[in-house]
Structure formats: structure tokens, C-alpha cells
Structure 1
Amino acid sequence: MELDYDVIVVGGGFGGVYQLYNLRKLGFSVRLFEAGAKLGGIWYWNCYPGARVDTEVPVYQLPEAELFEDFKWQQKYVRATPRHVNVKLTASIRYPGRDALREYFEHMDKVWGLSKDISYNSRVTACEWDNDKLRWNVKIAQMQLNGPTEIERHSKSIIVCTGFASRPYFPPYNGIEKYKGMMYHTSAWPQENISMKDKRVAVIGTGASGVQVIQTIATEVKQLTVYQRTPNYALPMGNNELPAERLKYYKENYPELMGKMNTTFAGFLYDFNPGECMKATPEEREALFEELYTKGGLHFWLGTYADVLKNKEANAMAYEFWKKKTHARIKDKKKAEILAPEVPPHPYGTKRVSLEQNYFEAFNDEKVDVVPVKDNPISNFTSDGIITADGEERKFDLVVLATGFDAITGGVTQINIRGEDGMPIKERWSEGTRTYLGMASRNYPNMFIIYGPQAPTAFVTGGLNAKMQGHWVGNCLAYMRDKGISKIQPTADAEETWRSHCEEVGKMGLFSETESWYFGNNIPGKPKEALNYMGGNQAYKSWLRDSEENDYKGFEYQ
């Protein structure tokens, strides 16, 4: 059999890095192809103003003690001293920014010696299964000084680690091609810095990247107009410096902390409150809400009473508390109603909750305005601005598209992957995604997906998910090698069982009542379905164990 490698890994984020590390350790020949110039996956491309992770130290990293021992999550910043001299300082911080994430990937590369088995500036464009030779034929566009060059490589297995947010969504606005100013999607921001000084800027979208851009550039620009489709129920990040004793505690107790992460619903160091919102007294409820909100981060979302995400009355109480806190921060009552409406457009926490730093205070500046596009849609672009349905035209020097992604499935379907019958996976999934355990799809033998559809992708922390799935895939490939298995794929029954289970779990709470990228609602024409496994970390691992301990139950092989 003509093979270049045992395994080809697509993508150099957390998932791809762990696959490369683990499979080499298991004795496989592996090559990782990464479209960016460095490791990092989304953290290579995320260089828009204010890009920062929303999961705190020490959780957002690969849970390997050797990586944590000699690495400091730090942030460089400038502080004015009593003598009014700007001094450059470095501090350990709770929520790392993009530069710190880039440094962490460089650290992983150094500790594990990854780059010798990585091809950078190499975008995988197509994968085709050859059933006669029992291999994958993989086409890669490699960027050269004189343009892209296509090469082809062959492997027994492929592992797709493109992440859940690697295919940006560009809404088809009328006349957008006429606009002559600068325009960037947050996922394709120039690697070099862009000055915002004295610029008239529009930000379309108030998801995570929109919130971060808005709060970062608001004080610098000449004018800022935010086009908001749906209010973001954002929570204060509380991104304070980490005291030396806290860092020492993390270092000395990291194995125990990893153990804790493995026991919680989402892989954090905290979990839902065991009590019930509806059984608590008003005083108890208010006290807990206040405590969680003050802690900062996602505590108010993922550390609250579990029935808040299941019971409409309990959910309304949480929203009312959040709205009260938010309105107190916004001076203009009209803006406050747009940003935190009296009547919630959807249940609290059923869209991805973002973390913010003075986001709502940014709208207290007279030069910052917000347009609710559900009431006043964008009508069309002109050569130098945007016209809304009310006929008002605003002129801009820069338009920021924070319009999100074809999430979860888009990273996979953007590659022309053809299986046994030659059908592209994008076409096969066009009326509904089919996987088993969120990692394998029938008709695509020896292909595994990490951090993809019908896995706990957006509901479990990234590093933990990458290791959990990566460990399972490595064991499966080792099992195939030891047993002389040349081809493996899920059965049709297993796929249907898993899809039904994902749908069932997805309807257990209030999430399915909300239009969001969790269900594909943000992309026109995309079928509504549970794109994530929402049963939590522990439940998912039990499915993985059951399959592995029973000779990969749910799969057929030869």
C-alpha cells in the first residue's frame, strides 16, 4: 500500500496539536497540515482588536502537567506611573489575550518538538477515499512566494481538526460589493495592526468578537455605529491580575485541578449549583445571583441553579437580575432598552454568553451609537457607507463584520471530502448531520473529526475536549493496527441512534427555543438540528468508554 503517512491531521489548533503529540507517542507516522503560518488554529487568525479567551487560567489549555510547569500566562500592558511616565509592564492575568495564546502554542511546540512534523501555509482543500487502495488521497494548497502550489499526499487515516469556528459567514447584504472603504471580517483580520484613530467605524454583529472589538476601539475612533441583531447577555469578565500565591497554588495542585475539570459538566473548576432556583427564597436567590455575578466570568451562567436553563420562570428571574445590573451601567435609556430589553428576545443563557470589559459603558460615549437591525434592517451598502430601512445613510471608513461563522459543521464541509461513493460530505449532511459520537461518519472510512458536530464542542472547554476525543481516537487507531484492521466506519444504526440522542438531549432545556448557531439557525438554508452534544462532559465520556471497552461498538471494520 502506497502511503506517505499513517495519519494526516488537518488543522493546528488544540485538537490538531494533541493528535500530533499523542499519535507520535503511539508510534504512528503523522503529518499535520496547517493553513496558517504558525500553530494556533483560531488563535493564529484571531488578531482583531481585543481578541481574548473567555475561559480563565488554568482551564483553557491542554490538560498536560508538563505544559503548565514552565509557562506563565502573561499580558503586556502600559501603565502611567505617578510621574506620568508610561511604563511597559507584564502581569499574569485571569483571561489570556490573543498574544498570550500565541505564546502558549509556541511553548507547546518547543516542549513537544511539533514543527518538524508540520507543514505550515498548507490548506487542505480536498480528501478522497480510495477504496481499492484503502487510503485517503489528500490535496493541499501550499502558499509559495509565487502563489499556491497543489500537492497530494496519501494516508491510511485522516483526522479533521478544523474547529467549530473556521468558516466565516458573510451575510449577502445588498450592494456590499460597492463599498470602497476598508472591510474586514473578524476572522480574517490583517496580522499587522490597523490604526482606528479618527476613523468612522461600523461594527456589524454583537457576538463574542463584536463585543471585544467594540469595547476595545470605542475610545479611539472618531465615530462608532454598532448594528445589533440580537442583544448579547454579556457578563463582566473580571480580568484581574493573578496574585503570585494563586499562581503558585495552580502550579503545585495542577494534577488535582485536572481531575476536577474532568468531573464537571463543562470542564470548568466549578459546576451548577445543586439547589433549585424555584425552591430558593427571594433572599437566597438574590444572594447567589449577586455572588456569581460579582465573581466575574461565566459563573452567573454555568455556576447558577441548573433549573435556570430548564425552567422558564427561573430563567426569567435570572434575566431580570442581569437586566437590572446592565441598565445601571448605561446612562441613555433608549440605548439601555436596545442592549438589555424589558422583554427578553430569548431565554437567558441559551445563546453563547460573552464576557465583557466595559462593553456597556462604551455606549455612554455620545460618539457610540447602536442600531437594532431587527427593527431597522440594513437596506444596502453604498460606496462609502450603509443605508438602513428608515432611509438613513451613515458613512464609514471601516466596516467590521463580526457576523459569525457557519459553526460546528462549516469547518468540515468547506473541505471537499468525498467518501466511498464519491459524495461530498457537504451534500450528504445537507439535510441533517450524521455522525457517531461526533467523531466519525458513515461512508467516510478511517476519518475522524475532533471538535466537530454532535460532540460536546461548544459545551466543554476546548483543551479538555481535544484531549478527551484525541485520546479515544489514538486508542482506536492503535486497536486497528494491533488487530490488522484496514477500514473502520460507524454503522447506520449507530449513527441514527446517536443523532436521535443528540436531538433528544438538545430539547431537554430551553436551548432549542432560541435561534442560534448551536442549532444552525444563523445560516440561511441550514437545517435546524442539535449541532452539539449537550449532555455534558461525564455523559459523553460514558458513551466513549462503552464503545471502546466493547471493541468499538457501533463501528464495523474489515
Structure 2
Amino acid sequence: MHDSRKPADEYDVVVVGGGFGGVYSLHHMRDLGFATHMYEAGTGLGGIWHWNCYPGARVDTETPVYQLYAPELYKEWQWKERYSGRDEMVKYFNHIADTWKLWKDITFQARVTRAYWDQDKSRWDLRIEHRLDAENTGTIVSTTHCKYVIFCTGFASKHYVPPFAGMDSFKGVMCHTALWSEDIELEGKRVAVIGTGASGVQVVSEVSPIAKQLTLFQRTPNMALPMGQCIRDEEWNKLSKQQYAEQVEKMKTTYCGFLYDFDPRKTFDVTEEERHALYEELFNKGGVYFWLGTFTDTLKSKKANDLAYQFWREKTIARLRKPEMIAKLAPEVAPHAFGTKRISLEQNYFEQFNRDSVSLVDLNVDPIETFTENGIKTRSGNEQFFDVIVLATGFDSVTGGLTQIDIRGTNTCIKDKWEKGVWTHLGMMSAGFPNMFFVYGPQAPTAFATGPQCAETQGRWIGETLSFMRENGIRSLEPTVEAETVWKEHVNEGAEEGLFKDTKSWYFGDNIPGKARESLNYMGGMPLYRKKCAEAQENGYRNQFVLACEKESRSDDSRRDSMHEKDISR
């Protein structure tokens, strides 16, 4: 509960960002008795689901898994689809805020641009830019102070646009999917889509039937799986609620927090008939069953992975009528191991390429040379004219949301510290940045877990940590350099075990020029991650953290600062 005696610009905890991590953290810290406030740059809650309103935007995790599992939230909510669209997700976040009465503790259109640690006062000073109106015609700036800051900026809050030549010369409409304007006209237009990640697949599927012409510029084919969309009716919702307690417990045991896990058998431990039967069963279920419910060695053994790819390819080429499209969308030899790039879910995506109005440019063969006044020209000299160019070019994933903010700790800023590689402990804290936490960020399960599961797991740990500090008179806490070194080694060891490391992807930062190549996600699975988090709390946090008590002298602070200056300037 907010302490009315505190100034309006001073809190115990400030939460930055209004996605799953943000709403859970705001609710949980407030329930623990901390004066807590959230700043959200957008006009509403939802995080990526607030910003990503492009045509076809939809989740890739099925209900009832993709939700926070507080009973009071589930009790009155009715899911409408197996895979919720963007609009349903926005309504769900509003439902969360209504049920938990969060609105009064949120400031919208407020972007945190700077966070400086004040060592003398043991607090964070935050610079907030408040947008005055939806057209962003002006801003005002304020300062907020807090003992603890929790960054919930998510893994996809900093969009990325490759530096294509001539972009400023294009006179049509151009927009990144992360900054979509809902008034963009697409019907009857000549449309270019650049990129084949989830947003590219969804835009192509949604826009192809209404566009006069659509051209996809593809670097890597997406090994998308059929979504298997269906309606969630009243009977389904009723049955799901009856299974609520069982579902919650099951999700705690699985690798990603799903209601199912990998098949414990290996690919070649079964007969060819048994293997094909499992493939068929998983594929026909829709969603990511064929990716994350398959044989346990599929993402670790090249030989096993090749079989999975060939099965996927046979299913896919049966849907394509043009031989040239088969070669581009489902080549005979896989461009990378199946499932080592984020699998997208599709609804009639491949069928769109049977249309005469849909074409595909392979950027490996004919890369973009320049944008022109009327469209795009490739190296071959071919210029295509477009009315709308959709940039589905992805994000500076996992780290970008944090490094785009000027975050300065005891003697360095986070962007400089992570310039040559990420250093965290448990994917939630970083040495040299006392009382700073981040949710759904680098070296945490993040993209290898469901967002709600990760948000709740990390939010609870942070809440326990802040409560411990309050109860024991600890004014600041941060991980030791040794602890984050051990954590980095543990994260990298997990990434070395499978085929992911051999594929260039945003999982390893490969899509951003100059970004250090390393595993940005914890790949050990949610059960092991929870175990590691619990171990860090043993012995009053003293084995892996630096704790400063309220009674420490300034000379103690000076010695501690000197230690960090030496340790984190690596």
C-alpha cells in the first residue's frame, strides 16, 4: 500500500514497463507493502501486445497457458480462441488491471530515459519523459526517486531496421511492425514485406488476400508450423477452470512452462513406424507440439533433426503449387537445424504463395541494393514499385530494451558494461548496479519459457529479496562479480549442449551488427532455473551477493566502490 506521507515522486519500488512482468511486479510488490509505481511509455498495458497492432498479430502460446495464474484473474475471464489475437490480449491486460486495481498506480505515456544510482542516498534517480498527446508534439520531464527499480522492458521493445540505402527517398508509406499505425491502408495496394520472422509470416497471411500485389523479401525461410486455431467456447472455459489447480502444478514441471514436455525417448530408439506416428500426432495437434513435444534429442542431434526437417518439408511442399516456391520456402537441404530459430505459427501462410499476386525475392541471391522513390531496387537491377513497405525486420532482442536506457550504476553504465557481452546473475541483476532488477531479460529463460511463467517466477524472487532486505536492515544488494561469472559460464554451458549455437539467430544476437555473439537466453529450463534462484537465497544471500546494511559507514562504501571499479571494468 502506498505510504501517503511519501512525496509523490518518491517510491520504494518503481516498475518500468507494462507487459506481463510489469503488471505482475506492480501487483506483487504492492501486496508486500512496498510503495510501488509503474511508468509505461505507451497509452495502455500489454507491453508487446500494446505496441504490436500490425495485421495478423497473434500469440504463439495457446490458452490456458498464456496467462497469469492468479485464481481471481482466471475466475471471471473467458478465453475466446486457442491462440489469442492482439485485441483479446489488450482486453486481458485491462482485465488484470481492473481486477487488481492497478490503474491508480500507473503513469502512461511516460518513458524512463535515464536511471542513475545515488550512492550517498542509496536510491535510484529516474528521468521520466511524459508525452503530452498521442501525436507526440511535446514532452515534459520529471524526476522520480526510488529505493529499488525493476525494469520490465521485455525482450522485444527496441525495434531494429537494417541500414538499407535510400530509405529516405521512398515516397510511399513505410512502417515497422512494432510501430504500426492502424490507419495504414493495405487493401488494393502494392505491398512489400521485408523479413520472415513471426510478424512477417502473420502480415503476409493477413494482407495477401486483400493486396493488389504482395512481395516478400526473404533472407531465411521460416519453418513455420500450422497454428491449429480454434474457438474456446463456454464449455471449454468451464472445463479448463475445473482443471486449474492441476494445470498450475503441471506447468511448474515442464521445460518451458507448457502443459506438455519433450518425449523422453530418442529418435532412433523407436521403430520407423513409431517415429512417424509420433510426428503425425504432434503435427496434427497444431501449435509448437512438433517443436517442443518431440523426441528429446531432436534439438541436440543433427541426424535426428534432419528427420524432423524432412517430415516438416514433406508436409509443407504438399501445400505449394509452384516449383520455384518449393525451392525457396522449403529447400531440400535445411538452411539451418529445424527449430533452432524461433518457430512461428501460421494460418494458410504457405498457400498465399500459390497466388499469382504474391511473389518472393530471395535476398541471398538478389539482395536489396537501394530503396527508391517508388519502391525497392535489388542488385540484379530489378526495381519493383510499392505503395506500402512493411519492415518486419525484428528487434535488438533481449538486451536492447535495457541498453537503450541510460542506466548508470556505481561507476559505469549498463550499455558500456555489456558492450562486449552480457554480465548478470540469474538474469535478474548485474554487479555494479545495486537494487536494480530486470524481468524477462538477458541470461534468463525469457524466449525459452512462456512470458507469464517467467514473469511470475522472477517477480516472486524479487519480492522475496526486497522483503528480506527490509526485514534485515539492508539498504543495498547486488551480485558479486564472481557470482555473475559463474552464472555466465552456466548459461553458456547450457547453450553448447544443443544445435542452437550452430545457427545464426537473434537468440545469439546475430541479427544486430557488432553485437557480441553469445547465448542471450538461459536454456536450462524453468525447473532448473527455479532451483538456481532458490540456491542464491541460501545463507541470507551472502554467498553470491554484496550486502550493505543501514549502519555501514561511508568508508565502507568507499572501499566497496573501489572493489567494483576494479572488478567490473573487464
Query: TM-score normalized by structure 2?
Result: 0.93
1:510 aligns with 2:510: no
Moved over 4 A (4+): none
> Are the counterparts in 2 of residues 157 and 446 from structure 1 also a CA contact under 8 Å?
yes
Helix, strand or coil: the match of 1:426? helix
8 A Cα contact 1:202 1:398, kept in partner = yes
Q: How does 1:459-478 map to 2 (within 5 A)?
A: 459-478=448-467
Is the contact between residue 186 and residue 402 of structure 1 (CA under 8 Å) also seen in structure 2? yes
Kept in 2: contact 1:50–1:213 (CA 8 A): yes
- Alignment match of 1:124 (pick from 96, 112, 121): 112
Matches within 5 A, 1:468-547: 468-547=457-536
What's the CA shift for 1:243?
4.4
1:333 aligns with 2:323: yes
- SS for the counterpart of 1:557 is strand
What amino acid maps onto 2:451 in structure 1?
A: G
Q: Which amino acid aligns with 1:398?
A: V
Shift of 1:437: 0.2
Q: Are the equivalent residues in 2 in contact too, given 1:10–1:124 (CA < 8 A)? A: yes
Give the AA of the match of 1:72: Q
Alignment of 1:154 onto 2:145: yes
Separation (CA, whole Å) in 2 of partners of 1:35 and 1:116: 16
- Is 2:89 aligned against 1:101? yes
Q: How many residues align?
A: 538
| Distance in 1 separating the partners of 2:540 and 2:184 | 54
User: What is the identity, as a one-letter code, of the residue corresponding to 1:43?
Assistant: W
User: What are the superposed Cα offsets for residues 475-497 of structure 1, whole Å, 9 maximum, x if unpaired?
Assistant: 10010010010111000100100
State the Cα deviation string for residues 389-443 of structure 1 (Å, max 9, x = none). Answer: 111000100000000000000011010001101x221111000100000000011
Matched, 1:4 2:10: yes
Residue-by-residue CA offset, 1:146-173 (whole Å, 9 max, x unaligned)? 6111110000110000000000001000
Q: Does 1:41 align with 2:31?
A: no
In structure 1, the residue matched to 2:563 is: none
- 1:372 matches 2:348: no
- Measure the CA separation in 1 of the matches of 2:387 and 2:369: 19
Pick aligned residue for 2:172 from 149, 164, 181: 181
Contact kept in structure 1, 2:42 and 2:108, CA below 8 Å: yes
C-alpha contact 1:65 1:255 (8 A) present in aligned 2:
no
Alignment match, 1:428: 417
Q: Distance in 2 between matches of 1:57 and 1:66?
A: 17
Instruction: Write out aligned runs for 1:214-229 (5 A).
Output: 214-229=204-219
Structure 1 position 254, deviation (Å): 1.0
Q: What do the CA deviations read for 1:256-311 (whole angstroms, capped 9, x no partner)?
A: 11111111000000100111102121111111001100000000000000100000
Q: 2:78, 2:234 within 8 Å by CA — same for their partners in 1?
A: no
1:448 is paired with a residue whose SS is strand
C-alpha distance in 2 between matches for 1:243 and 1:18: 27
Letter in 2 for 1:53: V
SS of the counterpart of 2:192? strand
3-state DSSP class of the match of 2:200?
Answer: helix
Which secondary structure state, in structure 2, belongs to the residue aligned with residue 551 of structure 1? helix
Alignment of 1:412-423 (within 5 A): 412-421=402-411, 423=412
Whether 2:239 is the aligned partner of 1:239: answer: no
Q: Distance in 2 between matches of 1:124 and 1:243?
A: 41
Q: Answer yes or no: is 1:441 the counterpart of 2:430.
A: yes
Q: Note the residue ranges of structure 2 that are not aligned, 5 or more in a row.
A: 1-5, 549-570
Give identity over the alignment, percent.
53
Alignment TM-score, normalising by the size of structure 1? 0.95
Gaps of 5+ in 1: 74-91
Greater displacement, 142-151 / 270-279: 142-151
CA shift digits 1:436-493 (9 cap, x unpaired): 0000001111000100000000011010110000000001001001001011100010
Return the offset for 1:550: 3.0
Amino acid at match of 2:63: V
**Of the candidates 287, 295, 302, which is equivalent to residue 312 of structure 1?**
302
Please say if 1:51 is aligned against 2:41: no
Matching residue's letter, 1:503: N
* Separation of aligned partners in 1, 2:280 and 2:69: 31
Please give the alpha-carbon distance, in whole angstroms, between the structure 1 residues aligned to 2:332 and 2:381.
Answer: 27
- Summarize the alignment of residues 19-30 of structure 1 with structure 2, pairs less than 5 Å apart: 19-30=25-36
